[in-house]
Structure 1
Amino acid sequence: MAERSILHMDLDTFFVSCERLIDSKLIGKPILIGGTTDRGVVASCSYEARKFGVHSAMPMKLARQLCPEAIIIKGNAGTYSKKSEEVTEIIKEGVPVYEKTSIDEFYVDLSGMDRFFNSLVLASELRKKIMKETGLPISFGLSENKTVSKVATGEAKPNNQLKVDYGLEKAFLGPLSVTKIPMVGEKTYHALRDLGIRKIQTIQEMPMELMEKVFGKNGVTIWEKANGIDRSLVIPYSERKSISTERTFDRDTIDVIKLKGILLAMAENLAFQLRRGEKLTSCVTVKVRYSDFNTHTLQNRIPYTSADHVLIPKVLELFDKLYNKRLLVRLIGVRFSHLVNGGYQINLFEDATEMINLYQAMDKVRDKHGDRSVMRAAGIEAKTISRFNPFRGEPPPLLPNRRA
């Protein structure tokens, strides 16, 4: 079997780096980005702040106590989205196949390129081009598969690169902490630690069957990753990925309150589907079909988000621009597109934790009791949003069904 060559690239402390491009005085100083009041949450922090024990998702009040000298900045999702697109364009132009897994993270398949170029040279030149044209620091790992390359990127940081030669994957991973394995979160780490497992090498020396007995299917995956085994492919990135819903009415209507209520419910549910699938959208489209079958759509690019309070006003704003008050409406629809992976981090620029906690609480109830178990009052009369998918708690096929 031919050797694969998989590149993983990650923009270093991306939000912080973007802010330093705007204000060079921030370079070398501890930076906290997120909600700016004591009730806020840290979305990102500089390496200088991390030395004090600060990390993302930490309450801003605690971060201030740990690092009193830190400069606190309320994030600007628009700025970060724009810089992310700049990097994406450079990668798109320079490689045959790439996958954008989040706003600041990419995989590139360079397999077979060694027949024409040295893959390490190609990766190095791509990294230099990104840094030169965007001003952003970026690190990469290069190896035979996604897992080893991602871990290598983490070891290369900050602002560096690392290649793990074919056949040396286990030797590279062995001395590292089990926390370096992608998918090993805090709970799994504590469970491994309780078993006396701290280094990846210990897992490498264990029978796979033992890991499976303790952790089930996840145990097999952890064992494979620890041994440098990962057969997953680089999935070509497409900005056409989207989720959408629409409603055709039995009777054409001009009831604006009804129309807006349904649109609100649509946007609210799709936003929940984004969060459940750990996705962010950067493009909102509203569709209106009139009784004469003329169909009109309007879309807007927005900063990456999955937040109701950002998406719902944008949907209603687009509808107001589209709607012709003199015509009966036959169909309305909403689509969120240009999706990338990303959890709550991009939404942590809120001043208060209440909004984030509210989303998490509502999503947990919806996961357990169904999509429409919690909803805004304005959309409550939208008994069905899509005739073909009347909210049975099923996400669109694109998104994984993540349980809380």
Structure 2
Amino acid sequence: MENTILHLDLDTFFVSVERLYDNRLVGKPILIGGSSDRGVVASCSYEARAYGVHSAMPMKRAKELCPDAIQIRGNSGAYTKHSEAVTEIIKETVPLYEKTSIDEFYADLTGLDKFFSSYQMAKELRVRIKKETGLPISFGLSRNKTVSKVATGEAKPDNEIRVDNGLEKPFLAPLSISKIPMVGQKTQLTLYSLGVKKIQTIQEMPVELMEKVLGKNGVSIWRKANGLDNSPVIPYSERKSISTERTFDKDTIDVHKLKGILLAMAENLAFQLRRGLKLTACVTVKVRYSDFNTYTLQSRIPYTSADHVLIPKTLELFNKLYNKRLLVRLIGVRFSHLVEGGLQINLFEDNEEIINLYHAMDKIRDKHGDRSVLRAYGMEAKTISRFNPFNGEPPPLLANRRR
């Protein structure tokens, strides 16, 4: 039985949500990001893209390219709310789906053609999402993730493309190599230097040559260029989480120490999120007292992986839980409801300096260990236990894992 994989992507998601709240923005060039010229573009409308604007561009440069653009700071809470509304519709409609980011989904429709057309089901799902949420959405349908994702990109804005079985290579052939998922700028330049600009050229190359030029990544790119991809749709579950906790050798009421350790925990887990290109939408704090009574408190938040959002929320929850009259035996932090995504969702809150600071700190941690850069307040946390975000098993130390 041939697989049938659907890829769905909400078009210019942040912009589309803003237009729901203010229809005067429809048809206008929109920039969403930091409110100052030192900010960064988190998202932009197709009208702004026509001027050469793109996400992650300094806001000052974007306004130079498109001086008539309307600049909006952005509302992460609104974006999270509408993402969850779309997720609920997909959950009710398809038997197996994967949420890969705040605005992107896969669904496995394999075998459904025995009962009704998978393509018709995809079309009806798209219509329902548009009708119930007011958000434009595009989809691609084929027998694997790679081709479906590329098809979605070609379908945009607000359209759909089906690639029938056996037509994957002809569909991909005339497209730029930049359309292949996971082909970054560096790889693109390497291939350009070899005269490889179209996917068809890769299709005609021996896989051994691609491996010689790009190593294992070259083999992966060659397979994708030829429409080959066996990766499964991974069932989405909001139970996915990453957590850490600390049991004290001696119970304590030192609140300064407790807050310092919690800060270090939240900072470390935020780094783990960014390193894994993930975002969290739920923070939980756990406190166990000397009498072994254990209490937890959680809070839903807009998707983020930023220290300056997660650390204050962690400390806020601890302040609500903490009973000053009791000795504390254990404290812990968990980030859950994880989805794929990078810092881009925070770009409308942060300026370029903050983003560059995160990148610089994370680079040092990757090279020298996750405790090589710390906030002074959290230095009392000598060790931090971590748990794998998917199966709960403690992984090796990050420093060892990276070597």
TM-score range, shorter chain: over 0.9
Determine the C-alpha separation between the residues in 2 that align with 1:245 and 1:228: 40
Tell me which residue corresponds to 1:380: 379
For structure 2, list consecutive stretches of 5 or more residues without a partner in the other structure. 388-393
Identity of aligned residues (%): 78
Superposed, 1:28-39 pairs within 5 Å as: 28-39=27-38
Tell me which residue corresponds to 1:253: 252
* Structure 1 residue identity aligned to 2:227: G
Cα pair distance change 1:205/1:354, threshold 3 Å? same
Tell me which residue corresponds to 1:202: 201
Tell me if structure 1 keeps the 8 A contact 2:243–2:386: no
Tell me if structure 2 keeps the 8 A contact 1:385–1:391: no
Q: What TM-score do the two structures reach when normalised by structure 1?
A: 0.96
Superposed, 1:213-224 pairs within 5 Å as: 213-224=212-223
Tell me which residue corresponds to 1:141: 140
Deviation of 1:347 (Å): 1.2
* Structure 1 residue identity aligned to 2:152: T
Superposed, 1:4-403 pairs within 5 Å as: 4-386=3-385, 392-393=397-398
Determine the C-alpha separation between the residues in 1 that align with 2:235 and 2:323: 40
Deviation of 1:381 (Å): 1.2
Deviation of 1:392 (Å): 3.0
Determine the C-alpha separation between the residues in 1 that align with 2:262 and 2:396: 14
Tell me which residue corresponds to 1:398: none
Determine the C-alpha separation between the residues in 1 that align with 2:86 and 2:267: 30
Determine the C-alpha separation between the residues in 2 that align with 1:261 and 1:79: 32
Tell me if structure 1 keeps the 8 A contact 2:73–2:348: yes
Aligned residue for 2:95, secondary structure, equals coil
Cα displacement string for residues 191-223 of structure 1 (whole angstroms, at most 9, x for unaligned residues): 110000010000000100110011100000000
Moved over 4 A (4+): 387-391
Tell me if structure 1 keeps the 8 A contact 2:76–2:345: yes
Cα pair distance change 1:391/1:174, threshold 3 Å? closer
* Structure 2 residue identity aligned to 1:218: N
Q: What TM-score do the two structures reach when normalised by structure 2?
A: 0.97
Cα displacement string for residues 140-175 of structure 1 (whole angstroms, at most 9, x for unaligned residues): 000010000000000000000000000000000000
Determine the C-alpha separation between the residues in 2 that align with 1:198 and 1:340: 32
Aligned residue for 2:398, secondary structure, equals coil
Tell me if structure 2 keeps the 8 A contact 1:288–1:296: yes
Deviation of 1:285 (Å): 0.1
* Structure 2 residue identity aligned to 1:169: E
* Structure 1 residue identity aligned to 2:208: E
Give the number of aligned pairs. Answer: 397
* Structure 2 residue identity aligned to 1:251: K
Tell me if structure 1 keeps the 8 A contact 2:290–2:329: yes
Aligned residue for 1:243, secondary structure, equals strand
Deviation of 1:47 (Å): 0.2
Aligned residue for 1:39, secondary structure, equals coil
Tell me if structure 2 keeps the 8 A contact 1:372–1:391: no
